[in-house]
C-alpha cells in the first residue's frame, strides 16, 4: 500500500471510567476519581490495545462548563454520560439582556472546576501536567444550548436581539479562553484557533454566514489566529465550501450523517477528517464489518482514520479496527 494512512482511537471519559470500574456519578463528584480515571484508563487501554499513554489531567465539567455561566446545568447520572437539564433562557429578550460575567472565577460551574484544578495540581504524580480548558464552543452552538430550538425562530422574528446575544457569547468565549490560559499558567495559542460547532449545520448557508461564521471569525481576529479549525457533526457540502473560503485550515466532520469522504474530497482542498460511526460501524458491527468499513473509507480517499469509542464496544471490534489500521501504516 503506497499511501500511509494515520489513524487514532478517541476515548471519551465514560469509556475510561468503564475500564476503571468507576461510576460516572463518582467521576463527576470527586477530583481524585477524575484524576484516577484520566490516568489509569489510558494505562489499561495501552496495556490491552497498545493505545497511547496519557500524562496530563484536567477538570472535566463537560463542554457545558462554558455555558454554565449563563445558567446551563447538566444532570449527572449514576452510570451514563451527563446531559443538560434544559435550556435556561426562556426568551430572546432575556438572552439579549445578558452581559459578559465580570469575574469568570465565580461564574457558573467555574468555582467547582477551579477547586478540582487545585486538587489536581496538589496531587498529580510527578511528570503529569494539569490543564484547564473552556471557551471552545462556537457562539452559535452555545446559543442553541442556552435558548433551545426557539433560537431558530428568533433569527426570523428578532435578528437584532439574536446578534446582541451572540456578541455577548463571543466576548464571553474570548474571556474564557484567556482565563483558562491564565489559570493553567500558559498563553492563549494565537497561531491557530479551534471551534466545536455541532449546531451550525442546522442553519442554511446565508444564515450560517450571518449568525455563525461571523462570530467565529470575530474570535479568530481577536487572537490574530490565521489558522482556523472546526469539529462539527451536522454540516453539509455548502458549509464546507463557506468555511474553506473564509480561511479554515482543517475540518473534522465527525460522524456527520450528511457527509462522506467523497463529499469532502470533492469540495475541500484542505485537510479533513471523516470519522467512523461509533454506533453503527463499531459498536453494532462484527469485526469483519469493522475492517470492511475501514478499507472502504480508505479506498474512497480518506486521508486519515479515527473512531471514537463508546461504552460497551466488544474487545474484538476494537482489535479489528487496530489490526486493519496497522496494515495501512
Distance CA 305, CA 298 (A): 8
pTM > 0.85: yes or no: yes
The mean pLDDT of the chain is 96
The answer to whether 66 and 19 are in contact (CB under 8 A) is no
Span 84-102, pLDDT tens digits: 999 999 999 999 999 999 9
> How far apart are the C-alpha atoms of 110 and 238, rounded to whole Å?
37
Interatomic CA distance for residues 99 and 325, integer angstroms: 48
User: Could you tell me which residues come within 8 angstroms of residue 187 by beta carbon, excluding any fewer than 6 positions away?
Assistant: 181
Is the separation of the CB atoms in 166 and 144 below 8 Å? no
With cell 447520572, the residue in question is 77
Q: Which of 277, 227, 286 is nearest to 257 (CA)?
A: 277
Share of the chain above pLDDT 90, in %: 93
Express each pLDDT in 43-75 by its tens digit. Answer: 999 999 999 999 999 999 999 999 999 999 999
Q: pLDDT of 139-168, one tens digit each? A: 999 999 999 999 999 999 999 999 999 999
Cβ atoms of residues 73 and 28 within 8 Å: no
With 70 as the cut, is the pLDDT of residue 284 above it? yes
R_g of the chain computed on alpha carbons: 20
The phi and psi torsions of 327 (rounded to 5 degrees) equal: -75, -15
Amino acid at each position: 500500500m503506497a499511501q500511509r494512512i494515520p489513524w487514532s482511537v478517541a476515548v471519551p471519559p465514560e469509556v475510561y471510567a468503564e475500564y476503571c470500574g468507576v461510576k460516572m456519578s463518582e467521576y463527576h463528584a470527586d477530583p481524585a476519581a477524575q484524576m484516577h480515571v484520566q490516568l489509569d484508563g489510558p494505562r489499561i487501554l495501552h496495556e490491552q490495545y497498545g493505545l497511547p499513554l496519557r500524562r496530563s489531567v484536567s477538570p472535566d465539567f463537560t463542554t457545558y462548563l462554558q455555558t454554565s455561566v449563563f445558567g446551563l446545568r447538566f444532570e449527572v447520572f449514576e452510570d451514563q454520560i451527563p446531559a443538560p437539564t434544559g435550556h435556561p433562557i426562556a426568551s430572546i429578550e432575556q438572552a439579549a439582556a445578558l452581559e459578559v460575567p465580570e469575574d469568570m472565577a465565580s461564574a457558573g460551574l467555574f468555582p467547582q472546576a477551579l477547586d478540582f484544578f487545585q486538587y489536581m495540581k496538589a496531587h498529580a504524580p510527578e511528570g503529569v501536567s494539569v490543564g484547564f480548558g473552556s471557551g471552545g464552543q462556537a457562539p452559535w452552538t452555545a446559543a442553541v444550548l442556552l435558548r433551545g430550538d426557539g433560537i431558530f425562530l428568533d433569527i426570523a422574528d428578532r435578528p437584532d436581539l439574536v446578534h446582541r446575544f451572540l456578541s455577548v457569547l463571543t466576548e464571553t468565549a474570548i474571556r474564557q479562553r484567556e482565563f483558562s490560559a491564565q489559570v493553567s499558567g500558559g498563553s492563549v495559542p494565537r497561531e491557530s484557533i479551534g471551534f466545536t460547532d455541532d449546531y451550525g449545520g442546522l442553519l442554511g448557508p446565508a444564515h450560517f454566514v450571518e449568525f455563525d461564521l461571523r462570530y467565529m471569525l470575530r474570535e479568530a481576529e481577536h487572537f490574530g489566529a490565521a489558522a482556523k479549525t472546526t469539529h462539527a457533526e451536522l454540516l453539509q457540502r455548502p458549509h464546507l465550501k463557506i468555511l474553506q473560503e473564509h480561511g479554515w485550515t482543517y475540518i473534522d466532520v465527525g460522524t456527520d450523517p450528511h457527509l462522506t469522504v467523497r463529499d469532502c474530497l470533492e469540495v475541500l482542498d484542505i485537510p479533513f477528517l471523516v470519522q467512523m460511526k461509533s454506533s453503527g460501524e463499531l459498536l453494532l458491527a462484527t469485526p469483519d464489518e469493522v475492517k470492511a468499513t475501514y478499507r472502504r473509507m480508505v479506498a474512497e480517499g480518506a486521508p486519515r482514520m479515527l473512531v471514537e469509542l463508546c461504552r460497551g464496544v466488544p474487545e474484538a471490534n476494537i482489535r479489528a479496527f487496530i489490526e486493519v489500521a496497522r496494515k495501512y501504516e
